[in-house]
Every structure is written in C-alpha cells, then in structure tokens.
Structure 1
Amino acid sequence: MPICQRLLPILCLCLSISVWGQDSRFRRFIQKAISDTTAPGQPSYRFYPTLAYAPETGFEFGLSSLLLFQAKRDTLNRLSEVQVFGFGTVKGQYGLWIDNAVYGDKDRWFVLGRMRFQKFPLLYFGIGPKPPGKEPALIDANYLLFRQRVLRKIIPNLFIGPELDYQQLYNTSFLQPENYLYEKPLGTDGTLNIGLGAALVFDNRHNVLNVRKGFFGELSFLSYQPHLGSEYAFHGISADVRSFRPIGRRNVLAWQVYGNFFRGNIPFNQLAMMGGEMIMRGYYSGRYRDKNMLAAQIEHRWLPLGFSKRFGAAVFAGAAAVAPTIGTFTTKHIRTSGGVGLRYLLFPKKDIYLRLDVGFSEDGPNFYLFTGEAF
C-alpha cells in the first residue's frame, strides 16, 4: 500500500469480540483463529483486522491473515509462510496482497514471491535524487503484479533458479497538483511489462519472519523485452544482503544492504524506489525514485523485552540514495531515516511477532503494521 499507516488492529479485534460476545459460536471461531495451540509441526493460521487512514484514500478497512507450516510437518524443515492482506476504502479503492516464502522438504525447492492486485492511488513526486516539487501528483490506476522465483538447492543453503515478473498498470489517470506541473513519465497512460531472469540465493535462515541468527544474500537479473510481451525494453540487477546476529538470549542485531541498478526505458512504477514498509521506513514508497538506488539499514531488536513474555521493541536507522547512473551517486543526495517499533508475540510456538513501527524522515512520521520483521 502506498502509505502503510495501518493502526489499531488489536483494538478492532477486541471490539469485535466484545460486540459479538453473546454469540458463542462466533467467539469460539475468533478465539481459535487467534490462538496458538497447534502441536509442533502442525500448520498454524491467524488473522486480524486493520484500520488505516490516508488523505488520498480516506479510511481503509482490511483483514490480514498468515499461514505457517513446515514441509511434511517435519519440524527439522524450515518454516514456510504465506501472508494474505485484503482491504477496501471509503472512496471505493480496494486490493489484495499475497506474499510467499515456501521451502520444500529438505530445502530441495524454495519458492519466493509476491502478488498484488489493487485499485489504489499512487503519489508521484518526480524522478531523480532531488525531485522538482514537494506537492505530489496523484496517479490513480489499477495495478497487477505477479513475481515469483522457483529456486532449486544446488548445495546446502545455496539456491538457483528462474524468475518471472509480470506488472501491469491500466485504467490510469494523472491529476496534477495546483502549484506545480509535472512532465508525465513513462507508463502514466498504462503499461504492461514482462520480465524473465534468474536469481542466485544463499539463505541459512530457519524462520523467515523472525530471524534470530543467519545470513541471506541474493543476486538477481531481469530483462524486459518486446518479444516477451513488454511495452518497454529495459533490464536490471538487484542485490540484497542481510545479516542477523544474536546478542544474548533475546536480542538481535540485524543489518541489510540493498541495491537496484537498471538500464533502458523504464516506466515510472518500476524504477528503483526509496521508502515503504521494508527499507527506509519513514519515507513514502517512491518519494525518491530513479534508475539506480543504494540503501542500507541497521536494527536492534528486543524479542521480547526483559520484563514481558509477549511484548518486544526495536530501534532502527537507514540511509539511501537514488541516481540516474551508477557514476552519478553523490553523498549530498543521501537521505536518512530512523524510528522505533513495538512488537507483540503473535505465534509463541513459532516465534512470530506482529510489528508496529513508526519511521521518521524529512517528510515526517509514517506508521507500519505487519506480521514479521521488515527484513
């Protein structure tokens, strides 16, 4: 979602239980859905409602769900997860998100991807490390994304395989702000692009949503060409390196370095974008965008806090820059962000937390509520 200000899910859930408390069947259904009573190796499922507000959407009502399981119900296999989030707004916008990280038995296969369908407005601040206007344009569009990697283990913890990316914008409209006239970027009138490529991944994490110890490294290449069905021709390389180090019994120190490097005629919605719920929290996703981006972040997590069995906390900071070419990165265009977060142990037996983060940037605060850590 362009602005991830999802607030008050636990309050909404409590109100739902209170209002429907006289219906024992409904109450048992809710309690079963939010409890964590499954035996080791058995699949676990949980859901919770969300409430958000943004000026371009008004109030948003959503429902998040999370499925956790291990291949063949073997506790020695890695924990797989499938997250689903659906939402609608009072202004008639809606969407469905699906994210998956699924490990096969003995890690023979690893399927990593995400899907998006939404009718949702996008804020556009221009392209480059120093966009021309502070008042954004509003691009309303239907958006469809399907991106999956099907990876095969070649040696322990090392995977390789093909990658497919399908992205489409349609039924678009471009509303200029009152005090600035933007040049319309590529893709504003609608675009469809299909990319094929490959990914090489090293991954020794056992719990993707809450890594206590481990390392993740990914190098991927995607090419979008007319003969594949793409409207524009471009290609790019992405690199993602993450490290997780335990500090004592409960604490974790994590860091990430991330980069996108593209060449060609790239539609605005597929440029490298700074901000969002994963990296550079505090910035709107796409507040700064260009063909290239370098970003890094560090985070200290208390999981849980010393005086609580359920509640934890985090503090994080990040820095990033975008540029039209690799050679034009400069220190003067580095943006910084930071923030704090609250954690609630949603699945005690699976060690999965619900996170509420507030990120601060030069544009002010942004709130993020998701299941699992940002990275």
Structure 2
Amino acid sequence: MHLKNIALSFLATLTPLAGAHAQGALGKSTANGEATVAQEASAFGFTHGSFVAAPIPIKNPTLGSGFALGAGYLFAMDDVSDDSYVGLGGFKTDNGSFGYGISGDIAWDENRWNLALTLGEVSLNYDYSLFDGHGPKIPLEQEGRLVNFTLKYGLTDAIRLGLNTAYVETELGLNSSGSLPPILERDADLKIWKIGPMFEIDTRNDSTYPTAGSHLSINSNYNIVESKVFERTYTKSIAKLDNYTSVNDSLVVASQATICNASEGAPFFDQCGLGTVDAFRGFAFGEVLNNSLVSVQAEVRGVVTDRLGYVVFAGLGNVGPDFSDMTSKNIRSSGGVGLRFRLSQKFPLDFSMDAARADTGEDTYYIYVGQRF
C-alpha cells in the first residue's frame, strides 16, 4: 500500500503526472524491531492519532516549483495494522499547475483489511515529447478529475488480494496558439472507467522506512474509454519488486525492478513512462513514454544523525511499443544524490531533496516527502 504525500495524495493517483512519490503506509516497527512510541503507549483507535498540517515545497521536472498545503490525521486501529490516515490538501506551482483533493487510507482487523479512497481535481501544464523523448516537445494543458477506490484483504500476514476501481475525466489542450497534433486528438476529451485485481507479497520489516525484506506488487486494470473521437478499451499491468538489505545500523541498500505494459488504445498519459509508473528520477513525465517498460533502480540510504540522512542512487530503463522492440541502444540511465531530514520522532517520515543527472546531461531536482520506493 502507498501512503502518498498528504498534500499530494489525490494527485498521485489522479494522473501519472504526479512528481511526488511518497512512502508506504506508516508501519510501526522500527529498524531493530523494537516498539515505537505508539505501541509502548498501547494507544490505538481513531481517537489516539496525531494531527499534522504543513506547507510542503514542491520541485520536479514536470510541474516546476511551488507549494502544497496539506492537513492530515494519522492513527493506528490496533498494534498490528499499518497506520491509517485521512487528509486533504492543495498545491500550486510556478508553471500554472494546481490541484486539490481529499484522501483516506485505513487498515484494520490486525492488517487483514485495507480500504483507500481518493477524490481529486487538477489542472496541469507540461511538455509532452514524441518518440520516447527524442522528438519535439509539445506544450500541453490538461484538466482532470478522479474518484479512486481500493479494497484489499490479507490472506496471510504477508499476502494480500485486492480490487481497484476508478473513474477519470480529463480534457486536453495545447498550451499555446494552434491546435493539438492529430496524434493527440483521440486523447483530447476522455472519460475512463478502471477496474482490476491487485496482488501483494510484503515481507518488509517496516512499510515507511524498511531496512529488510521485500515487497512484490502486481496490479492489472481493464479500462473502458469514452471519447468523441475514438471509443475503445485497453489494459494496463504493472509489476514491481522492491528489496531492502541492511549493511549495518546506519546503511541500507534499496532496489526496485519494474515491468509495465499498456495495450494499444491506452491514452498517452496512461502509457508506461520512466518517472511515472516507477518513480524513476531524471526524466520528466511525457519525456520517455511507450506501451512497454522495464526499469531497475538501486539506492544506498545512509543515516548521519537521528534527523539527517543521505541517499545515492542510479537506474537504467527502457521503453518500446512492445518488450520485443526494446534494444540496448535505447536504454536510458540516470543517477544522483539526495538529502533526507526526519520530520517526526514518532513516524520515520523524511523530507527529501534529490538531484539527478540523466544520460542526456540534463539535471533535474526533486523536493517531496517520503522515499521514492
């Protein structure tokens, strides 16, 4: 399960354009397995939570720089279940993008059940690059609204099955004079219904800042598209495997492998893209997109003090019309460094600042809350 940045939770599921990828649900086990403050106090239930509200800086290569203002309430239903939250927020950036929404994610019955609901609306300005990032950039403006619902059931402590449903409305236009290129006309005004199963195997020792274990997630959606130009259906499937290994008490190696496939008929903004389905740093949304994707990332996470930490990361990725069409000459890469500042003594939630350099030599910067994976 993903706990999105409280201020951007709605954005992260409304559209792949969200540049802030936050952490999983706030698990309560510490790195060495000792109880947290919440467990020691045996204070569980909705009335024993913590209220948080704060402005959060935003910086990513898609939406530019700006601020999000979020308010949320964190709580745990029992001593086993992941922490739950309800929150609302809004954001605005210097390129004219803005959004607002509400979101909730609740786990109960000793983590047996999990329910998440998100409602949001955004207006986004960004550049879309044709031909997997090698073509001209097209300035676009896109408005969207979403209702997203997810229900999961735990078969065991580690294995979960779930169902995801969503409804999306989106309008697309050119953020300049002229009209949309013909290749984008079919995606100009859409209504999309989404439904599909989810599967997880989660052995992490903590879902916010894991230091051991792994997390496999697989989801596949069947999508029905209403359009004035081209009504159709398509499928989209994503599989991710995260792994975490402690080198010592202050050093963790984290990795992620991602496979994504969207069938013909998928709108361009719901294709598989570096930096969208896999939290890959170094490329903006719309820069490297296609129907199929494979990527791998690795990150070393270090702790300097109780509050201060750092990361060093690198990744490789490839996209193509199909997996068989991917070639080694089209492999994209990036790497970089980042700083982490622990926001809370109770929850291991970090304020993150990253700098990444892509194989094109272009530098991109990110400011967000949480880890990338």
TM class, shorter-length: 0.7 to 0.9
1:246 paired residue number: 246
1:212 Cα deviation (Å)? 2.2
Cα deviations across residues 102-122 of structure 1 (Å, max 9, x unaligned)? 422211112357554211113
Deviations 1:65-85 (A, max 9, x none): 4543211xx333323355654
1:205 aligns with 2:182: no
Decide whether aligned partners of structure 1 residues 235 and 319 sit closer, same or farther in structure 2, where only a CA change above 3 A counts: same
How many angstroms does 1:50 deviate by?
3.4
Distance change in 2, residues 1:249/1:242 (3 Å)? same
Instruction: Kindly indicate whether the alpha-carbon contact (under 8 Å) linking 2:224 and 2:234 is maintained by their aligned counterparts in 1.
Output: yes
What residue in structure 2 maps to residue 284 of structure 1? 284
SS of residue paired to 1:106: coil
Distance change in 2, residues 1:91/1:66 (3 Å): same
Match of 1:367 in 2: 365
Compute the displacement of 1:213 (Å).
2.0
CA contact (8 A) 1:149 1:161 kept: yes
| Backbone CA RMSD of aligned residues | 3.2
Instruction: Name the structure 2 match of 1:60.
Output: 66
Contact 2:80–2:111, Cα closer than 8 Å, also in 1: no
User: More relative contact order in 1 or in 2 (CA 8 Å, sep 6+)?
Assistant: 2
Looking at structure 2, the residues matched to 98 and 363 of structure 1 have their Cα atoms a distance apart, in angstroms, of 38
Contact 1:218 1:239 in 2 (8 A): yes
Q: CA deviation at 1:169?
A: 0.9
1:56 and 1:220 map into 2 onto residues whose CA distance is 25
Query: 1:116-265 counterparts in 2 under 5 A?
Result: 116-126=120-130, 128-129=131-132, 131-133=134-136, 136-170=137-171, 172-175=172-175, 182-185=181-184, 187-205=186-204, 207-225=206-224, 231-265=231-265
Q: 1:366 to 1:45 in 2, by over 3 A?
A: farther
1:240-292 superposed Cα distances (whole Å, 9 cap, x missing partner) = 11111122112211111111112121111111111259622121022111111
The residue type paired with residue 272 of structure 1 is: C
Per the TM alignment, residue 4 of structure 1 is displaced from its structure 2 partner at its CA by 4.7
The question of 1:311 aligning with 2:308 is answered: yes
SS at match of 1:279: coil
CA distance 1:107–1:353, change in 2 (3 Å)? same
TM-score (norm 2): 0.78
Letter paired with 1:88: K
How many residues matched?
333
**Counterparts in 2 of 1:207 and 1:147: CA distance versus 1, 3 Å:** farther
Q: Is the 8 A contact 1:79 1:208 kept in 2?
A: no
Q: Distance in 2 between matches of 1:261 and 1:312?
A: 35
How far, CA to CA, are the matches of 1:164 and 1:157 in structure 2?
Answer: 23
1:111 lines up with 2:119 in the alignment: no
2:353 to 356, 359, 362: 356
Q: SS of 2:110's equivalent?
A: helix
**Partners in 1 of 2:127 and 2:176 — Cα distance?**
10
Q: Is the 8 A contact 2:60 2:367 kept in 1?
A: no
- Residues 352, 371 of structure 2: 8 Å contact kept: yes
C-alpha distance in structure 2 between counterparts of 1:268 and 1:117, whole Å: 19
Could you tell which deviates more after superposition, 344-353 or 360-369?
360-369
Could you tell me how far apart the structure 1 residues matched to 2:327 and 2:183 are?
A: 26
Q: 1:197 to 1:232 in 2, by over 3 A?
A: same
Q: Equivalent residue of 1:327, what SS? A: helix
Given the superposition, is the C-alpha separation of residues 249 and 282 from structure 1 closer, same or farther in structure 2, using an over 3 Å criterion?
same
**Compared CA separation, residues 264 and 371, structure 1 to 2 (3 A):** same
CA–CA distance in structure 1, aligned partners of residues 220 and 292 of structure 2: 14
1:56 and 1:262 mapped to 2: Cα distance?
22
Quote the residue 2:26 is aligned against: none
**What SS is found at the alignment partner of 1:332?**
helix
Identity of aligned residues (%): 21
Are the aligned partners of 1:57 and 1:91 in contact in 2 as well (CA < 8 Å)? yes
- After superposition, give the CA deviation of every residue in 1:316-366 in whole Å (9 maximum; x if it has no partner): 111111100121111111100111111111111222222111222126222
Question: Which amino acid counterpart does residue 316 of structure 2 have in structure 1?
Answer: A
Check whether the contact 2:62–2:285 (CA below 8 A) recurs between aligned residues.
no
Q: 1:325 to 1:113 in 2, by over 3 A?
A: farther
* TM, length-normalised to structure 1: 0.78
Aligned residue for 1:43?
49
Return the letter of the residue paired with 1:107.
N
Cα distance, 1:310 vs structure 2:
0.8
Contact in 1 for aligned 2:125/2:175 (Cα 8 Å): no
Instruction: Tell me the amino acid that sits aligned with residue 368 of structure 1.
Output: Y
Q: CA–CA distance in 2 between the matches of 1:369 and 1:84? A: 19
